[in-house]
Amino acid sequence: MDVDDPVTQYIAVEKEAYDEAARQRPRVAERQFRPGKQGIWHRRISRLIDWHREGDFDLPVDLVRPYALPVLARVEQRIPLKYQYRGLNALRELARAHVMFPEMIAGGTPLKVLDLSAGGCGVADVYGHYGHDVTIRDYFVTGADGMPRNSYTAIHQELGLECEHFDGRERPYDFESDSFDLVLCHQALDAYGPVSSWSEAVGEMLRIARRSVGLVFNPPYPRTPETEAEAAAFIAKLSADHVTDEGVCPDTKLVTLRIEKM
Ligand SMILES: C[S@@+](CC[C@H](N)C(=O)[O-])C[C@H]1O[C@@H](n2cnc3c(N)ncnc32)[C@H](O)[C@@H]1O
C-alpha cells in the first residue's frame, strides 16, 4: 500500500479539516461532529476502500476526495454528517455499481440514468465519472428564503447538478415512458408509502425505464415483524415476476435488486 496515495490519505485529510473546524467552533463541533461521530463514518470509508482493493477494483482519485465546501458550511447547510463525506457517498455507490450494474463502470456506451431520491448524489458523481448522463430528483421543502431545497442542496451546487422536486408518494410520476435507460431508487422506497404501495411505485419506475431498474431496500416504515414480512414477500414476488438479480450492498448490507425490463 502506498501511504502517499491520495485515496489512502483521504480519511486523514477529512479528519484534519474537521479538527481545524473544531478549533474554530468547538461548541458546534461538540454538537455536530465530535470524534466519536466522525469515527463511525471513517470506519465505513476505510472498509469500503479495503473492499475495492481486495476486489482489485479501480478507485478513481477524483471521487475519493473531500467536497470543496468547508466543513462549517457543510454543517450550516444542514447536510447530515453521513453525507458530508464525498468519498463515502461515492464509494458506497461505486460498490453498489459493482454489485448491481458492473457494466456501467466498465466503459462502453454512455446511458441515460434517472436517480430518484438522490440524497448525497453519489450515483451522479460515480456514474457521471464513467461518462453517463445522470438526472437526479429529490424531495424538497420550502426554505426560509421561500426557495425549494433540502439537506443536499449544497451538494447539488458543488457538483453542478440540477435537482428538481420529486415526491415518491405522488403517482403517476411525471416522466415519459421508456425515457431513461436505467431508473435507480436507493434507500428511499420506504418514504414513498407503505409496502402495499411499493408495487405501484416500482411499476412506475419500470414504465419510465427502457432497460433496467435498480433498488436498494431500506427497512419498511414503520418497521414491525409484519411490515418486514410484507417487504420480503414483495421482493420475492418481484423476483418471481421479472428477471432479477438480488445482492447485498457492501456498505449498508441492505438488499439490492436489479430488475430487467423485458
Ligand atoms: C436514506 S436517503 C437515501 C439517499 C440516497 N439515495 C442513498 O442511497 O444514499 C432517503 C432519500 O429519500 C428522500 N425522500 C424522503 N421523502 C421522500 C419522498 N416523499 N419522495 C421522494 N424522496 C423522498 C430524501 O430526501 C433522501 O434523499
CA of 235 to the centre of ligand 1 (A): 19
Q: Whose CA is nearest to atom 19 of ligand 1?
A: 167
Ligand 1 nearest-atom number relative to CA 89: 9
Global confidence as pTM = 0.97
Question: Would the CB of 181 count as within 6 Å of ligand 1?
Answer: no
1 confidence band (pLDDT: 50, 70, 90):
low
Position 227 pLDDT exceeds 70:
yes
CA of 188 to the centre of ligand 1 (A): 5
Render pLDDT for 93-131 as a digit per residue (tens, 0 to 9): 999 999 999 999 999 899 999 999 999 999 999 999 999
- Whole-angstrom Cα distance, residue 100 to residue 132? 16
- In the block, cell 411490515 appears at 227
Closest by Cα among 82, 161, 94, 99 to 122: 94
> How distant, in Å, are the alpha carbons of 18, 26, 171, 210 from that of 12?
10, 19, 45, 42
Domain architecture of the chain: domains with CATH: 6-93 (no CATH), 99-260 (3.40.50.150)
Question: Would the CB of 167 count as within 6 Å of ligand 1?
Answer: yes
Determine contact, residues 150/139, Cβ cutoff 8 Å.
Answer: yes
Determine contact, residues 76/83, Cβ cutoff 8 Å.
Answer: no
Question: Would the CB of 168 count as within 6 Å of ligand 1?
Answer: yes
Render pLDDT for 134-177 as a digit per residue (tens, 0 to 9): 999 999 999 888 988 999 999 999 999 999 999 999 999 999 99
Q: Look up residue 86 and give its amino acid.
A: R
